[in-house]
Amino acid sequence: MTIRDDLLSDDIHVISKGLDDLDAGLRKKHDHADLLDILSLFSLSDDTEIVRKVTWCVAKMGQNKVNDIRLTELLTKLAVNGDNVVRENVAWGIGETAGTVVMSSEAMEAISLLMDDDERDVRGMAAWAAGRFHHKCGYMTAMIRTKLEVLSDDHSDFVRSAARFALDNKKRGRE
């Protein structure tokens, strides 16, 4: 069976295995953008583990430089998800799309929202994502800059360092 076959199964265990296989393929730099529509359907699942795997795979596609606006469309819709791992994956994935210069106002709004998150890892990843857009695309809104300045004094070392990275004016080629 192919990954697509597994993802189209009615059995949640087969679907989960398909997502694991997709993750393994993405780690080997396989594209798999042809599965984005199926992943979009699974992003609506009530199964938190499935949504976590979906957001991880979509973020990994961003890291692999898949240049497809559907990546950010899918991720931005999940910025308000109740699970902190999903929200962290969303921030990571949006930041990774900066490498493909797929940018939207919705993506920047999601980053801004996630920078206010109660969870340290989500705030830190959102600050890092803002930094990616700043360094790769030369883009930063005044609101995001203000939030980053606040986060640069966050109680978390991780959040502080991510915010300071984002505010650094040195243009970076690869991070």
What lies within 8 Å, CB to CB, of 81 at 6+ separation is 51, 87, 90
Asked if 35 and 3 count as a contact pair (C-beta separation under 8 A), the reply is yes
Question: 13-61: per-residue pLDDT in tens?
Answer: 999 999 999 999 999 999 899 999 999 999 999 999 999 999 999 999 9
- What's the pLDDT band for 72 if we cut at 50, 70, 90? very high
Question: 105-156: per-residue pLDDT in tens?
Answer: 888 999 999 999 999 999 999 999 999 989 888 888 999 999 999 999 999 9
DSSP 168: -
pTM score of the predicted model: 0.92
Residue 78's Cβ-side half-sphere holds a number of Cα atoms within 13 Å equal to: 37
CB count in 10 Å sphere of residue 167: 18
What integer is the mean pLDDT of 81-87?
A: 97
CB count in 10 Å sphere of residue 6: 19
Domains of the chain are 3-167 (1.25.10.10)
